[in-house]
Chains A and B, each alone.
Chain A
């Protein structure tokens, strides 16, 4: 059984998805989906354990040995990411049943869970597979279900946001497909490990450069890297809140994973960072993303928009870490992927609670909420502090590593800019806090109650994770550092 864990990681949610149809009753479906997701979570924990102790796992699908058959290859990097995805997915699902009661009509609720599980298995598939073409297939599985999930939003703008995402997402995926095709053309293989071996022979050709560029652009579209982020804010703002919580915490991580995997493991650092000036390009785009998206976030009226733009900015931090092209920078990026999942998970889950009670996520509707929903607003405060990077939260840990990495490289100016960027976060977070605590409730508005336990529990699970992993960093730092080191070690 343990041998088959790599494929079970993907198969469990994939099979569970259509099985939901048999159960029909929303509550049952919810329990079943929760069960499937927890199972995936447990599998990812086991896999991570195995990888950390015994090293990389290679699983041959159907017994066909690579490079002919499809290989699932689990190393520290993807075990880590899979853990983030399945963990967040499970915690978010805890609140799903309560939340969608108010946001999705009853007859569509089972379908919601199906799409959710499909999306989950798509993401896990992208992460675990060791086959380049498989990446494309899973990418489309997760994307198609994502488009549908977003379109489930109550507001009609959700439809339009979903359509825009569909166009952008498909273009991105097709670009990735072109990249993979060109690579296959030059090397005759789709297995990632095999590609890594064969690519250096042909690295000097224009075709490979083209392949890389197509691939990078496609991934950056999915990653919502500034300036390719236009689909993201509306998609996050108008999707059902629970969907936003799930995607905000996970989907950009998957794209970031692809970027790392292809750049470091497949193309190799010597190709990626010397042949092309991508360091500079990523550095500039990352910094622009941090500053522009944070500034835009300050001027938003809808909290979901605020945090969506903040996500674009946070992707900027990850990319800055990436562009340092040192093990320390990559560690910072990986740490921030983990930490950002926790922060945004907590923040968007708190918004789920607010949507449940208030029915709106406009900043102005938050007035006086600090007294009416103390626990929910407190969660936003802690999550916000984490986003700013206050010590003893996870945000501080990632900022710390990123800045130290920049200084170690001798880029003091970059260290300064990164810290300045977090000041912008202070402003947009503080606007929300001030409205919730220091503005009197709007006259004539019904006072609301604290959110139900079903939502509060997952919210505070994520909030406490923010604090716990901000204090006890051994787990995240150790994995991120060793994954980064092995990525650099392999490529050198």
Chain B
């Protein structure tokens, strides 16, 4: 190995950002440009895997860049939770690049260079979020992520896209400045540090009411976690091209949100403190309500992407609940759900995009009978749905399992009921889509006769199909082989449990 792990860590963040230079340089040669994107994503993934192996070997990896203000520095370190996030994001970036090459060309989108540039910056900042060693660093990359994804959301340049972009930026920026930054400042003044520390940073004698308020500010301020009532940006962002929705709004952006929530919960507050705070219970119910309400709203959406968006809002609630339950199985469930939901949801989004490119359909009611023309896509959609619902043989099973265990351990029966109900709702809003695709007759046939129904609907471009295949396969593999993920997830808590013993 040529590079030290520290160098690799920095490369993860810097490579995508440098890649933008080449992407711009090759703007007249689409093939070269996409080759740059692919190569970069492979390199980043390779780097992350190497770091993972190094972490497994028990090395501590930390990098310090610079100190902005006394006590506030830009520095990075690797710990299991960030590892999970980085692994998933870098892997799925690679998959999405393959997919979007097919999609963007199949769809003849404009401004593809801008698209791939912003995409790369977004991934670089996701890596920054994943490896951030303190809240300040995390906040910076969190904001960079918001700003770099804004052009992606408004990509189409239409009025609807601009409006969506305004909601997106408006909510994410204002929550992050008004609440998140405020909470960070509060933490800074009370604790005197922003470094992520096992067991939390707050002094034992800190005022719990104040800390409770800070917790609320954190949960609301991390708008990317899309807890109601600050979830509106997510459906609004669905005006973006599908690969963007797929990666950013199933993986990168929303996961950066819940990832931040987890980091804050575990390493700023610490689970022991989280339980005793007066507002935790309130936030639990709020997240529960978010889960249920979003599911209900999802049922009423006819636009496939909108339905998936609300489904995401609901699933993000699961992860927040997992942290707020403040037990080890809750944390394991949340961190596993970050991975499981990422794979499941990206499959679904890929399928939605494939349907849009191949059949030019975005409404669910028009998708009856589509299974015959696009069998591969629809099977993948079915697998993705299973994973989101949490049924075997898909990875989603495990995270749901641990989450229910956690609710039982903590006697949060109401939350448990909410989760069960939500699973039923998941079935109700996801399952009909593949079901009707395979077992209903295309409505077009009835209305316009056979001829129109046989409009040339083929499967999506090959590149996209490969990506869909990989993502769907991922859902299945994670069921059979969840061990590495489980180990990482339980490693998050290990040092903490040892401090428990002390």
Complex contact flag A–B (Cβ < 8 Å): yes
Identify B66's interface contact among A407, A415, A419, A472, CB under 8 A.
A472
Identify B69's interface contact among A400, A407, A422, A430, CB under 8 A.
A400
User: How far, in whole Å, are A411 and B169 apart by their CA atoms in the complex?
Assistant: 29
List of A residues within 8 angstroms of B182 by Cβ = 403, 415-416, 419
CB-based contact A407/B68 at 8 Å? no
CB-based contact B173/A426 at 8 Å? yes
**Would you list which residues of chain A between 385 and 421 have a CB under 8 Å from chain B?**
388-392, 397, 400, 403-404, 407-408, 412, 415-416, 419-420
The answer to whether the Cβ of A477 comes within 8 Å of any Cβ in the partner chain is yes
User: How far, in whole Å, are A356 and B97 apart by their CA atoms in the complex?
Assistant: 42
List of B residues within 8 angstroms of A420 by Cβ = 178
Identify A400's interface contact among B147, B162, B185, CB under 8 A.
B185
**Would you list which residues of chain A between 10 and 66 have a CB under 8 Å from chain B?**
none
List of B residues within 8 angstroms of A416 by Cβ = 178, 182
User: How far, in whole Å, are A172 and B174 apart by their CA atoms in the complex?
Assistant: 38
List of B residues within 8 angstroms of A390 by Cβ = 143, 147
The answer to whether the Cβ of A276 comes within 8 Å of any Cβ in the partner chain is no
List of B residues within 8 angstroms of A404 by Cβ = 185, 188-189
CB-based contact B178/A392 at 8 Å? no
CB-based contact B143/A391 at 8 Å? yes
The answer to whether the Cβ of A471 comes within 8 Å of any Cβ in the partner chain is yes
Please give me the residue from chain A that is nearest to B139 by CB atom. A391
CB-based contact A423/B69 at 8 Å? no
CB-based contact A477/B178 at 8 Å? no
User: How far, in whole Å, are A408 and B192 apart by their CA atoms in the complex?
Assistant: 11
The answer to whether the Cβ of A438 comes within 8 Å of any Cβ in the partner chain is yes
The answer to whether the Cβ of B399 comes within 8 Å of any Cβ in the partner chain is no
Give chain A nearest CB distance to B230 CB in angstroms.
Answer: 14
Give chain A nearest CB distance to B324 CB in angstroms.
Answer: 23
The answer to whether the Cβ of B62 comes within 8 Å of any Cβ in the partner chain is no
The answer to whether the Cβ of A464 comes within 8 Å of any Cβ in the partner chain is no
Count B-side interface residues using an 8 Å CB cutoff. 26
Give chain A nearest CB distance to B210 CB in angstroms.
Answer: 8
The answer to whether the Cβ of B181 comes within 8 Å of any Cβ in the partner chain is yes
CB-based contact A391/B177 at 8 Å? no
User: How far, in whole Å, are A234 and B70 apart by their CA atoms in the complex?
Assistant: 40
**Would you list which residues of chain B between 159 and 212 have a CB under 8 Å from chain A?**
162, 166, 169-170, 173-174, 177-178, 181-182, 185-186, 188-189
The answer to whether the Cβ of A164 comes within 8 Å of any Cβ in the partner chain is no
User: How far, in whole Å, are A391 and B189 apart by their CA atoms in the complex?
Assistant: 18
CB-based contact A426/B174 at 8 Å? yes
Give chain B nearest CB distance to A412 CB in angstroms.
Answer: 8
User: How far, in whole Å, are A426 and B173 apart by their CA atoms in the complex?
Assistant: 8
CB-based contact A419/B177 at 8 Å? yes
**Would you list which residues of chain A between 415 and 471 have a CB under 8 Å from chain B?**
415-416, 419-420, 422-423, 426, 430, 434, 438, 470-471
CB-based contact B177/A407 at 8 Å? no
The answer to whether the Cβ of B154 comes within 8 Å of any Cβ in the partner chain is yes
Counting chain A CB atoms within 10 Å of each CB, the highest count among B143, B177, B178 belongs to B177
The answer to whether the Cβ of A325 comes within 8 Å of any Cβ in the partner chain is no
Identify A438's interface contact among B139, B143, B147, B162, CB under 8 A.
B162
List of B residues within 8 angstroms of A400 by Cβ = 69, 72, 185
Identify B185's interface contact among A388, A407, A473, A477, CB under 8 A.
A407
The answer to whether the Cβ of B443 comes within 8 Å of any Cβ in the partner chain is no
Known A-B contacts A390-B143, A408-B189; the reply to A423 vs B68 at CB < 8 A is no
Identify A471's interface contact among B68, B136, B143, B188, CB under 8 A.
B68
The answer to whether the Cβ of B482 comes within 8 Å of any Cβ in the partner chain is no
Identify B157's interface contact among A419, A430, A438, A471, CB under 8 A.
A438
Please give me the residue from chain B that is nearest to A402 by CB atom. B185
Counting chain A CB atoms within 10 Å of each CB, the highest count among B143, B147, B181 belongs to B181
**Would you list which residues of chain B between 268 and 314 have a CB under 8 Å from chain A?**
none
Known A-B contacts A403-B182, A438-B157, A473-B68; the reply to A422 vs B177 at CB < 8 A is yes
CB-based contact B174/A397 at 8 Å? no
The answer to whether the Cβ of B140 comes within 8 Å of any Cβ in the partner chain is yes
List of A residues within 8 angstroms of B186 by Cβ = 407, 412, 415
List of A residues within 8 angstroms of B173 by Cβ = 423, 426
CB-based contact A430/B68 at 8 Å? no
User: How far, in whole Å, are A420 and B181 apart by their CA atoms in the complex?
Assistant: 11
Please give me the residue from chain B that is nearest to A481 by CB atom. B70
Please give me the residue from chain B that is nearest to A385 by CB atom. B147
Please give me the residue from chain B that is nearest to A439 by CB atom. B162
**Would you list which residues of chain B between 48 and 81 have a CB under 8 Å from chain A?**
66, 68-70, 72
Give chain B nearest CB distance to A314 CB in angstroms.
Answer: 16
List of B residues within 8 angstroms of A412 by Cβ = 186
User: How far, in whole Å, are A408 and B189 apart by their CA atoms in the complex?
Assistant: 7
CB-based contact A430/B169 at 8 Å? yes
User: How far, in whole Å, are A473 and B69 apart by their CA atoms in the complex?
Assistant: 6
Counting chain A CB atoms within 10 Å of each CB, the highest count among B68, B140, B166, B174 belongs to B68
Known A-B contacts A426-B173, A473-B68; the reply to A419 vs B140 at CB < 8 A is no
Identify A423's interface contact among B143, B162, B178, CB under 8 A.
B178
List of A residues within 8 angstroms of B185 by Cβ = 400, 403-404, 407, 415
A-B contacts, 23 of them at CB < 8 A, read A388-B177, A391-B139, A392-B140, A397-B68, A400-B69, A400-B72, A407-B185, A407-B189, A408-B189, A415-B182, A419-B178, A419-B182, A422-B177, A423-B177, A423-B178, A426-B170, A426-B173, A426-B177, A430-B169, A434-B162, A438-B157, A473-B68, A477-B70
The 9 residue pairs across chains A and B that have the minimum distance between CB atoms: A391-B140, A407-B189, A403-B185, A423-B174, A419-B178, A419-B182, A473-B69, A426-B173, A419-B177
Chain A residues engaging chain B, CB cutoff 8 angstroms? 388-392, 397, 400, 403-404, 407-408, 412, 415-416, 419-420, 422-423, 426, 430, 434, 438, 470-473, 477
Supplied contacts A404-B188, A416-B178, A419-B178, 13 more A-B pairs, CB within 8 Å: A388-B177, A389-B177, A390-B143, A400-B69, A400-B72, A403-B185, A407-B186, A415-B185, A426-B174, A430-B169, A470-B68, A477-B69, A477-B70
